[in-house]
Amino acid sequence: MTAYVRGDLATAKRIVVKVGSSSISGDAAWRIESLVDAMIGARSRGQEIILVSSGAIATAVSLMDLGEKPADLATQQAAAAVGQNVLLWRWQSSLDRFGVLAGQVLLTLSDMQNPTPRSNARRAIDKLLDLGVLPIVNENDTVATHEIRFGDNDRLSALVAQLTKADALVLLSDITALYTAPPDRPGSRPIDVVAPDADLTEFEFGGKVVNSVGTGGAATKASAARLAQDHGIGVLVTSADNAAGALNGEHVGTWFEPAHVESPLTDALSVILQDAPEE
């Protein structure tokens, strides 16, 4: 059932949770434990959780002593190959406490644009959920090139939410909410709710942030949230430390109210990302 208000997150059937690199890599790797606790809490209420986890490259940067995110594509791809493995191992080690298995799902933009891999990905995620596995999605950074990248996992998570017909999307990072302007600017205030028809240009989110940890920033989150919201999926933007509260439907973060759409499956996105018959 679509989450129309923030409190509906406590009862929504299927939720995509996305967590950003800086919240779970390097010195912040400890946070994986509390995020698993929060997701297991939701699962024990009967909710289905699909995790979109960034952090492959950032995990490798600290492990391989690369200093900062490599600038060249080949090293980014190599770092992703190392980091994705360790990242999944960390999630799995924490999930072991609850006897839950993680299922790794790596997607590229072309998978999402092409009917057959798109339909296969959806069917596999559905089956993982049926089997009680926690699907953990990331971009397949080892084969993605600059031109064919999602670019950031905020957008990927909005597309995964649509693909899997999720009822809500939760974007977790190190910001507690979106602000009307950069938070250190006098007069800047947190945004509570964004209506489907709200003019986002009223806010000053800043440009896309690409740093040593990940890719994203407030503007990226706002545009991914708008994409999901436009397609009938409510979105909560908050901090990883608020994960349990967010999944409990508490009043945290910025809530993007879903637009009322007739059928999320026959909307504009399906023109780009067409569904295919199952194979």
Residue 58 in the binding site for ligand GLU (CB under 6 A): yes
Q: Does residue 54 bind ligand GLU (CB under 6 A)?
A: yes
CB 257 within 8 A of CB 193: yes
Minimal distance, residue 172 CB to ligand GLU, in Å: 12
108 binds ligand GLU (CB under 6 A): no
By CB under 6 A, tell whether 141 contacts ligand GLU. Answer: yes
Asked whether position 139 contacts ligand GLU by CB under 6 A, the answer is yes
Q: Which of 108, 153, 164, 238 binds ligand GLU (CB under 6 A)?
A: 153
Work out how close the CB of 85 gets to ligand GLU at its nearest, in angstroms, rounded to a whole number: 12
Residue 253, token pair as written in the block? 């973060």
If one asks whether residue 19 binds ligand GLU (CB under 6 A), the answer comes out as no
Total Cβ atoms within 10 A of residue 14: 19
**DSSP characters over the chain:** ----SGGGGGT-SEEEEEE-HHHHSGGGTTHHHHHHHHHHHHHHTT-EEEEEE--HHHHHHHHTT-SS--SSHHHHHHHHHHHHHHHHHHHHHHHGGGT--EEEEEE-HHHHHSHHHHHHHHHHHHHHHHTT-EEEEEE-TTT--GGG---SHHHHHHHHHHHTT-SEEEEEES-SS-BSS-TTSTT--B--EE-TT--GGGS---S-EE-SS-EE-HHHHHHHHHHHHHTT-EEEEEEGGGHHHHHTT-S-SEEEPPP--S-GGGSTHHHHS------
- Which residue's CB is nearer to ligand GLU, number 144 or number 246? 144
Give the binding range for ligand GLU (CB under 6 A) out of 55-63, 93-101, 238-246, 253-261: 55-63
Build a one-symbol-per-residue string for 69-88: x at contacts with ligand GLU by CB under 6 A, - elsewhere: -----------x--------
Does residue 56 belong to the site contacting ligand GLU (CB under 6 A)? yes
- Minimal distance in Å, beta carbon 30 to ligand GLU? 18
Q: Is 242 in the site for ligand GLU (CB under 6 A)?
A: no
Q: Pick the closer one to ligand GLU by CB: 43 or 208.
A: 208
Binder of ligand GLU out of 23, 47, 94, 138 (CB under 6 A): 138
Q: CB 10 → ligand GLU: shortest distance, Å?
A: 27
Binders of ligand GLU in range 190-229 (CB under 6 A): 214-216
Residues forming contacts to ligand GLU in the complex (CB under 6 A) are 21, 54-58, 80, 138-139, 141, 152-153, 214-216
